[in-house]
Chains A and B, each alone.
Chain A
Amino acid sequence: MSITVYVPCDSSAVSLGANRVADAIAQEAQKRGVEIHIVRNGSRGMYWLEPMVEVSTDKGRVAYGAVKTGDVASLFDADFLNGGAHALNLGLTEEIPYLKKQQRLTFARVGITDPVSVEDYVAHDGYRGLKNALSYSQADIVKHVTDSGLRGRGGAAFPTGIKWNTVLNTPSEQKYIICNADEGDSGTFSDRMIMEGDPLVLIEGMTIAGIAVGATQGYIYLRIEYPHAYEILNAAIANAYAANYLGENIQGSGKTFHLEVRQGAGAYVCGEETSLMESLEGKRGLVRFKPPLPAISGLFGKPTVVNNVISLASVPVILDKGGEFYRDFGMGRSRGTLPLQLAGNLKHAGLVELAFGATLREILYDFGGGSATGKPIRAVQVGGPLGSYLPESQFDTPLDYEAFSEIWAVLGHGGIVAFDETVDLAQMAKYSMEFCVEESCGKCTPCRIGSTRGYEVMDEIVNKRDLDKNIPLLRSLCDTMLNGSLCAMGGMTPYPVLSALNHFPEDFGIKAA
């Protein structure tokens, strides 16, 4: 029997040379006449160890990393195919503390299975949620999701069950499920990891959503910056159709669900749900007024569920193990787990899925290992480009939607970007305004004009001109953007700007208030 070797196809692993490593292993095996079977799995999310190669042994999977093409011959010499000792040997993958300390529910299979194999997916508890869902009434499926306490993981944290219930109870011949895969927040990559590492869990979640609310068509709106995810998703969808997990009469249930991937075109604002629907309809991605809610009048004017990748990918485990199982993780009104993405200046950047409630400090130091440069971490931006900058004094805040809201910060999509002491927060504030200039859809004045004026004022401030006049002007402008913008683009750009100003006034050339 041939030995199975795993080399990730995840695009971050590939960005570090995983494809070349896979080729080198295949060639070396052929040269030595050894029969091996290479599986291109997702990433385990320990990116400082990528490309991380795993080998199946009697004791479990043994990891080696970070592997370069030049290491391959010596790995064969060290009998790595049987878990042999080598400088890069990391021991049993499951025993690596970074992984062992996590609570992986949504990411349970990522890095373990062949992402596009339905057979492998089913062998690892896949499609159990759908099986249960097919035996429940629509209302009972929605009830499980409501009971789980799942809130939208895209950033807005709206209760998923309530959204589904609205769509279920809005009569219409045609309804839609949209997966928002326009993961544009910098510092986030969990959606990408799911789509590249376990796309079938997303497909299953969307199918369950369709059955729950009576929608027969789903769209995954995927950002153009993710070409690998596009290929893997399409391969997984084709396999799901072939295995009758998509299409007509799914598994003989009489239920129908069709799924198609649509690509965005580089507009950050299309991650906003109404702008996304405009884009799917073939228009400029201008934000719509709400109401009407998308759940009542969404895509093409029909009732539509719009959920983030992680929200939908969390549905299968909820339907498999029950809403209560999921709800038992977490704290307060933040139930279940949140896949955190550790990014920027951290020694151990990667994916950490944990129940809500751990503190930022634990994440940054126990998991992240402190800064990559070895200098003190000075600021952390949580929740993407529209999230606040947090100073060291706030690192003990628990990761919980309400606790973050209390300190005027957001968890957003769970992205955590760390900066060392070389960061200039005034420059970062200026950058936030510049980003808003680039990405504003232009529909509302506070965002369109406010960001341009904000960029000009920040330019004055970083050059230390007329601070007495310009700082109050910046605050006033942020107030207008916060309260007057149509969506989070203009409405939340003040978060990074004002948090930088309030917590790091010295970078703006002023003394603390």
Chain B
Amino acid sequence: MTQTNIIQIVQNIVADLKDKPGALLPILHTVQNSLGYVPPESVPTIAKALNLSRAEVHGVISFYHYFRDHAPGKKTVRVCRAESCLAMGGKALESHVKTKLGIDYHETTADGNYSLEAVYCLGNCACSPAIQIDNDVYGRVTAESFNEILTEQSA
């Protein structure tokens, strides 16, 4: 996508949402939903519309774990690192996922298919350990079932 296209998309989103009270997070969410990330070149447009400094907008983007400033892989795998999952073998699952994908947290596979992120609780604690791929949550995940899920996702 060209820079002009990105700016155009961001301008449309900003025009739609800028009058909401506390508009910045809704704008950032919509930008990330549309583009997969919040491109650094969108910051001046957002800042200007909300009468904020670019530093303020950048500060908000960098504060929240969820927002990212570069394009992710086609799908994002999130592995829960919280206590309930740790109690059910989450640590071993985490190692397996990293080995299987061949990447660490905040990295993307060479083929651009998967990004890997940590998450602290998916609210699936009665079915630990849990992972999430995009919006889909998986419970009682084992090394074998993770491999199956990946095959399914790649199909």
* 29 interchain pairs, CB-CB under 8 A: A11-B137, A15-B124, A16-B139, A186-B84, A186-B125, A187-B121, A188-B121, A191-B123, A225-B121, A225-B122, A225-B123, A228-B135, A263-B25, A265-B29, A265-B64, A265-B66, A266-B65, A266-B66, A267-B64, A280-B25, A343-B87, A343-B128, A344-B83, A349-B126, A349-B127, A349-B128, A381-B83, A385-B120, A428-B86
Chain A residues near B127: list those with CB within 8 A. 12, 15-16, 47, 50, 349
Query: Which of the segments A323-331, A417-425, A468-476 contacts the partner chain?
Result: A417-425
Residues of B contacting A423 with CB < 8 Å?
87
Is B88 engaged at the interface, CB distance under 8 Å to the other chain?
yes
> In the assembly, what is the distance between CA of A347 and CA of B23, in Å?
45
Contact A280 B22, CB 8 Å, known A189-B126, A267-B65, A349-B127: yes
Known A-B contacts A268-B120, A283-B24, A284-B63; the reply to A15 vs B130 at CB < 8 A is: yes
Complex Cα distance A225/B81, Å?
13
Q: Within the complex, what minimum Cβ distance (angstroms) separates B77 from chain A?
A: 14
Enumerate chain B residues within 8 angstroms of A15, measured Cβ to Cβ. Answer: 124, 127, 130, 136-139
Give the distance in Å from the alpha carbon of A279 to the alpha carbon of B63 in the complex.
10
Chain B residues within an 8 Å CB radius of A350: 126
- Near A by CB (< 8 A), chain B positions 94-134 give 119-128, 130, 132
Q: Kindly state whether residue B71 has any CB partner on chain A within 8 Å.
A: no
Q: Given contacts A225-B122, A282-B50, are A417 and B29 in contact (CB under 8 A)?
A: no
Chain B residue contacts of A192, Cβ below 8 A = 123
**Contact B126 A285, beta carbon cutoff 8 Å:** no
Residue of B nearest to A387 (CB): B83
- 8 Å CB contacts to B: which residues of A298-344? 300, 341-344
Q: Which residues of A contact B83 (CB under 8 A)?
A: 186-187, 344, 381, 385, 417, 428, 431
A297 to chain B, nearest CB (A): 16
A225 engages B132 (CB within 8 Å):
yes
Q: Chain A nearest CB: distance from B144 CB in Å?
A: 15
Complex partner residue of A262 from B26, B63, B137, CB under 8 angstroms: B26
Other-chain residue from B24, B85, B136 in contact with A282 (beta carbon distance below 8 A): B24
Shortest Cβ distance from residue B76 to the other chain A in the assembled complex, whole angstroms? 12
B121 nearest CB neighbor, chain A only: A186
B25 touches A279 (CB 8 A): yes
Instruction: Name B residues whose Cβ lies closer than 8 Å to a Cβ of A.
Output: 21-26, 28-29, 50, 56, 59-60, 63-67, 80, 82-88, 119-128, 130, 132, 135-140
CA distance A345 to B85 in the complex (A): 9
Q: Given A265-B67, A266-B119, A282-B60, 16 other A-B contacts at CB below 8 A?
A: A12-B124, A15-B130, A15-B139, A183-B121, A186-B121, A191-B123, A192-B123, A227-B135, A263-B25, A265-B64, A266-B64, A282-B24, A285-B63, A300-B22, A438-B65, A439-B120
Q: Which residues of A contact B130 (CB under 8 A)?
A: 15
CB atoms of B84 and A417 under 8 A apart:
yes
B140:A16 contact, CB within 8 angstroms: yes
For the complex formed, measure the closest distance between the CB of A290 and the CB atoms of chain B, giving whole angstroms: 20
Residues of A within 8 A of B50 (CB): 282
5 smallest CB-CB distances across A and B, nearest first, come from A186-B82, A282-B24, A343-B125, A265-B64, A266-B66
A125 → B minimal CB distance (Å)? 27
Nearest CB of B to A127, in Å: 27
Contact with B along A350-367 (1 / 0, CB 8 A): 110000000000000000
For residue A435, CB closer than 8 A to chain B, the reply is yes
| Inter-chain contacts of B124 with A (CB < 8 A) | 11-12, 15, 189
* Residue among A11, A428, A441 having the largest count of chain B Cβ atoms under 10 Å: A11
Instruction: Looking at the assembled complex, report how far the CB atom of A414 sits from the nearest CB atom of chain B, in whole angstroms.
Output: 12
Alpha-carbon distance A283/B119, docked complex (angstroms): 22
B-contact 0/1 string along A5-16, CB 8 Å cutoff = 000000110111
Chain B residues, Cβ within 8 Å of A262: 22, 25-26
Q: Contact between A341 and B87 (Cβ–Cβ < 8 Å)?
A: no
Contact A283/B26 with A187-B82, A300-B21, A431-B86 known, Cβ cut-off 8 Å:
no
Could you tell me if A265 and B120 are in contact, using CB atoms closer than 8 angstroms? no
Contacts of B28 in A (CB 8 A): 265
Q: How far is the CB of B118 from chain A (nearest CB, A)?
A: 8
Taking CB atoms, residues of chain B closer than 8 Å to A439 are 120
Q: Does A467 contact B (CB under 8 A)?
A: no
How many Å lie between the Cα of A266 and that of B63 in the bound state?
9
**Is there a chain B Cβ closer than 8 Å to A184's Cβ?**
yes
User: Does any Cβ of B come within 8 Å of A185's Cβ?
Assistant: yes
Q: B64 near A341 (CB under 8 angstroms)?
A: no
List chain B residues, Cβ under 8 A from A417: 83-84, 87, 125
For residue B75, give the distance in angstroms from its CB to the closest CB of chain A.
14
Q: Interface readout for A44-77 with B: 1 if CB under 8 Å, 0 if not?
A: 0101001000000000000000000000000000
- Assess the A265–B65 pair: CB atoms within 8 A: yes
Task: Determine whether the beta carbon of A419 is less than 8 Å from that of B87.
Answer: yes
Report the separation of the CA atoms of residues A15 and B131 in the bound assembly, to the nearest whole angstrom.
9
**Given A267-B64, A279-B25, A417-B83: A47 touches B123 (CB 8 Å cut-off):** no
